C-alpha cells in the first residue's frame, strides 16, 4: 500500500488502521461508549425527559428548543450532561482518529480506488463533475467532511461505523442479518435487485450472496461511497454493479426494471421531500408485483412517544443537533406508511421491534 | 420551473435545522468541565494504546526473544491474547470511569440495543 508503513492487513473486510496505536485507541473508544453511553442511556434519558416535562420544555427541531433543553440539563440533570458529553466527544474522537490514520496512506488509497474503478467483477459508474445538492452538505454523525466531501469518505465510513456499531459491525454481521430478513416478492421471482442508497455496499453484497443468480445493483449519491463499495465487492469476488445516483434522481433507469428494491436507513438521513421522491422512484422502477423493503426508524406522527427507538425528547434533541442528524426528527414525526400508500404501495408487513429490524415490506400491486 | 429548481426551493429550510452545521454544545454549567471530561477520555485512550503496546512487546519478547517496531505493528494476536487484551481494556475503563455517574444510574437497559447486540451478544 505505502512504503512508509508496514502492511497491517485488514480487520474483517476493512483496511486496518495505519498504526496499531490507532486501532487500540479506537477499541478503547468502542468499549468506553458501551460502558458510559449505551449502558446508562435508558435511565439517563428517562431522568432528562422527566426534568424537561417538569420544566415545561418540549423538543422541537429548532436551535432555540435544543438550547432550552441543554439549559435544563445543565441546571437539573448533570448525569445527562455526562451522557451527552461522552456521546459527542467520543463520536468526534473516533472520526478524527480514523481520518488522520487513513490520511497517512492517502495516496495509496486513492491509487487503489483508481485501479478498482477499472476492474471487475461487477462495475462502478460515477461522475467526477457531479454537483451535490445543498442538503448533502452535512457532516452526518460528525463524520469529517460527511458522506460526499472527501475521496476517502467511503473508507472512513467503513472503519468509523465499525467503531459505532461495536460487535454488530464486525465482519458485516449487521448487514448479513439484514439481508436474511429481506422479503422477496410474493411470486418469488427475483431477476434484478436494487439496493438504494447503498453507501459502501455492505447490504448490496450480502444480497448478492443470498440471491446469487440475480443481477444486483447498488446506487448512492456519493461517488466516494460507490467507488469504495465497488472496491470492497471486488475484494469479496462479488459481481455487483454500483452507480452514483441520488435516490431522488433515478429518472434515466427504465420503469419496471427491478423485482426487489431495498433501502436501509436512508429516510431519516434526508429531508422529507427527498423521501417522497425516493418512494415514487421505487414505485416506478419496480415491476408490477415487485417488492420495496425498507428498514429505518419507526415513524410516530406529530407526537413521538416512548415506543420504538425512543427517538424523542432528550435523545432526539442531542442526537439531531449535536450528532448531525438534522433530518431525523422530521422523519420520525411523519407517517411514512401513509406516504407509501399514497404512492400506490400495498403494505404487506411491518415490525416495530427496533431500528435495524424495522422492516416495512411493500408490494407494487399487479 | 424544473423539478430540480422546485426541489431546491422546497429544501431551502434545511440550512436552519439544528445539526445541519457543526454545533459547539455546552452540557455543564461550567464549560471547563466539558473540556476537562473530553481531555480525560482522550488521555485514557492514549494511555490504553501504550498499555496495549506494552502487552504486545512483552508477548513478542516472551515468544520470539526479540522485538522491532514492524513486528509490533504487524502482530496478529491469537484468540487468547485478544480476549485477555479486551478484558483488561474493559476493566481499565470500568476502574477509571466507573464512578462518573451517580450510583442510581444503573445499567438497567439501553436505547442502543441495535448497536450493542452483535454476534457475541446473540451467541
Q: CA angle, corner B81, sides to B76 and B82, nearest 5?
A: 75
Do A142 and A85 meet the contact criterion of CB atoms below 8 Å apart?
no
Taking CA atoms, A154 is separated from A76, A145, A196, A246, A295, in Å, by 40, 11, 16, 16, 21
Instruction: State how far residue B52 is from chain A, nearest Cα, in angstroms.
Output: 7
Give the domain range for residue A244: 171-304+325-363
In a domain, A221, yes or no: yes
Instruction: Please report, for the domain that includes residue A354, its CATH number.
Output: 3.40.50.150
Taking the Cβ of residue A280 and every Cβ of chain B, the question of whether any pair is shorter than 8 Å is answered with: no
Q: How far is CA A288 from the centre of its chain?
A: 28
**What is the distance between the alpha carbons of residues A171 and A169, in angstroms, rounded to a whole number?**
6
Decide if B56 and A19 are in contact by the 8 Å CB cutoff: no
Nearest to A320 among B19, B28, B121 (CB): B19
What radius of gyration, in Å, describes the C-alpha atoms of chain B?
A: 23
pTM metric for this prediction: 0.92
Give kind and range of the element (H or E) at residue A163: helix A153-165
Instruction: State how far residue A323 is from chain B, nearest Cα, in angstroms.
Output: 7
**What is the distance between the alpha carbons of residues B55 and A156, in angstroms, rounded to a whole number?**
28
Cell representation of residue B106: 444503573
Which chain A residues are closer than 8 Å to B31 by Cβ? none
Decide if A166 and B116 are in contact by the 8 Å CB cutoff: yes
The 3-state secondary structure of B18-51 reads: CCCCCCCCCCCCCHHHHHHHHHHHHHHHHHHHHH
Length of chain B: 123
Per-residue model confidence (pLDDT) at position A168: 76
- Contacts (Cβ under 8 Å, ≥6 apart) of A36: A82, A83, A86, B93, B97, B100, B101
Express each pLDDT in B16-67 by its tens digit.
Answer: 999 999 889 999 999 999 999 999 999 999 999 999 999 999 999 999 999 9
In a domain, A5, yes or no: no
In a domain, A43, yes or no: no
Decide if B37 and A89 are in contact by the 8 Å CB cutoff: yes
Helix (H, G, I), strand (E, B) or coil at A304: coil
Q: Residue B112 pLDDT > 80, yes or no?
A: no
Decide if B121 and A19 are in contact by the 8 Å CB cutoff: no
Helix (H, G, I), strand (E, B) or coil at A185: coil
Decide if A21 and B42 are in contact by the 8 Å CB cutoff: no
**What is the distance between the alpha carbons of residues A66 and A354, in angstroms, rounded to a whole number?**
25
Q: What is the 8-class DSSP label of residue A182? A: P
Per-residue model confidence (pLDDT) at position B118: 46
Residues 3-32 of B with CB under 8 A from A: 7-8, 10-11, 14-20, 22-23, 25-29
Cell representation of residue A269: 438521513
Taking the Cβ of residue A48 and every Cβ of chain B, the question of whether any pair is shorter than 8 Å is answered with: no
* Residue of chain A with shortest Cα separation from B115: A165
Instruction: State how far residue B36 is from chain A, nearest Cα, in angstroms.
Output: 10
Per-residue model confidence (pLDDT) at position B106: 57
Express each pLDDT in B52-108 by its tens digit.
Answer: 999 999 999 999 999 999 999 999 999 999 999 999 999 999 999 998 887 666 555
Decide if A320 and B120 are in contact by the 8 Å CB cutoff: no
For chain A, residues with pLDDT lower than 70 are 1-3, 301-310, 352-358
> Helix axis angle, A63-76 relative to A41-55, nearest 10°?
100
Instruction: State how far residue B20 is from chain A, nearest Cα, in angstroms.
Output: 5
Q: How many domains does chain A have?
A: 1
Instruction: State how far residue B32 is from chain A, nearest Cα, in angstroms.
Output: 12
Helix (H, G, I), strand (E, B) or coil at A261: strand
Q: Residue B120 pLDDT > 50, yes or no?
A: no
Which chain A residues are closer than 8 Å to B89 by Cβ? 27-28, 31
Length of chain A: 366
Nearest to B25 among A41, A86, A322 (CB): A322
Which chain A residues are closer than 8 Å to B108 by Cβ? 42-43
Amino acid at each position: 500500500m505505502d512504503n512508509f508503513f508496514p502492511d497491517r492487513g485488514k480487520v474483517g473486510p476493512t483496511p486496518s488502521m495505519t498504526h496499531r496505536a490507532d486501532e487500540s485507541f479506537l477499541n478503547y473508544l468502542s468499549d468506553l461508549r458501551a460502558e458510559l453511553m449505551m449502558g446508562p442511556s435508558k435511565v439517563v434519558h428517562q431522568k432528562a425527559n422527566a426534568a424537561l416535562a417538569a420544566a415545561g420544555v418540549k423538543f422541537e427541531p429548532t436551535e432555540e428548543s435544543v438550547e432550552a433543553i441543554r439549559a435544563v440539563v445543565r441546571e437539573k440533570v448533570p448525569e445527562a450532561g455526562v451522557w451527552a458529553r461522552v456521546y459527542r466527544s467520543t463520536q468526534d474522537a473516533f472520526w478524527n482518529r480514523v481520518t488522520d490514520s487513513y490520511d497517512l496512506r492517502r495516496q495509496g488509497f486513492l491509487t487503489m480506488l483508481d485501479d478498482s474503478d477499472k476492474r471487475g467483477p461487477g462495475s462502478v459508474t460515477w461522475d467526477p463533475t457531479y454537483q451535490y445538492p445543498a442538503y448533502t452538505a452535512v457532516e452526518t454523525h460528525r463524520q469529517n467532511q460527511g458522506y460526499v466531501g472527501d475521496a476517502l469518505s467511503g473508507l472512513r465510513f467503513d472503519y468509523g461505523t465499525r467503531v459505532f456499531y461495536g460487535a454488530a459491525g464486525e465482519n458485516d454481521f449487521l448487514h448479513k442479518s439484514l439481508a436474511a430478513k429481506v422479503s422477496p416478492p410474493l411470486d418469488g421471482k427475483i431477476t434484478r435487485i436494487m439496493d438504494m442508497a447503498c453507501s459502501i455496499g455492505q447490504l448490496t453484497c450480502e444480497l448478492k450472496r443470498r440471491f446469487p443468480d440475480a443481477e444486483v445493483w447498488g446506487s448512492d449519491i456519493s461517488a466516494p461511497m460507490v467507488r469504495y463499495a465497488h472496491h470492497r465487492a471486488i475484494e469479496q469476488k462479488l459481481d455487483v454493479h454500483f452507480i452514483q445516483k441520488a435516490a431522488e434522481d433515478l429518472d434515466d433507469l427504465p420503469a419496471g426494471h427491478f423485482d426487489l428494491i431495498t433501502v436501509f436507513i436512508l429516510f431519516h438521513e434526508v429531508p422529507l421531500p427527498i423521501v417522497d421522491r425516493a418512494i415514487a422512484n421505487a414505485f416506478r422502477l419496480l415491476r408490477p408485483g415487485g417488492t420495496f423493503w425498507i428498514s429505518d426508524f419507526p415513524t410516530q406522527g406529530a407526537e413521538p412517544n416512548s415506543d420504538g427507538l425512543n427517538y424523542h425528547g432528550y435523545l432526539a434533541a442531542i442526537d439531531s443537533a449535536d450528532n448531525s442528524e438534522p433530518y431525523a426528527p422530521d422523519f420520525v414525526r411523519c407517517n411514512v406508511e401513509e406516504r407509501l400508500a399514497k404512492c400506490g404501495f400495498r403494505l404487506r408487513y411491518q415490525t416495530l421491534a427496533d431500528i435495524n429490524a424495522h422492516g416495512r415490506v411493500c408490494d407494487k400491486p399487479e | 420551473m424544473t423539478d430540480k429548481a422546485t426541489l431546491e426551493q422546497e429544501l431551502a429550510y434545511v440550512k436552519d435545522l439544528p445539526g445541519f452545521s457543526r454545533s459547539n454544545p455546552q452540557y455543564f454549567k461550567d464549560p471547563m468541565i466539558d473540556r476537562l471530561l473530553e481531555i480525560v477520555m482522550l488521555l485514557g485512550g492514549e494511555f490504553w494504546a501504550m498499555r496495549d503496546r506494552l502487552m504486545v512487546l512483552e508477548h513478542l519478547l516472551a515468544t520470539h526473544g526479540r522485538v522491532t517496531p514492524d513486528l509490533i505493528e504487524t502482530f496478529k494476536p491469537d484468540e487468547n491474547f485478544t480476549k485477555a487484551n479486551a478484558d483488561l481494556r474493559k476493566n481499565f475503563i470500568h476502574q477509571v470511569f466507573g464512578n462518573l455517574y451517580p450510583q442510581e444510574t444503573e445499567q438497567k437497559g439501553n436505547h442502543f440495543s441495535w448497536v450493542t447486540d452483535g454476534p457475541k451478544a446473540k451467541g
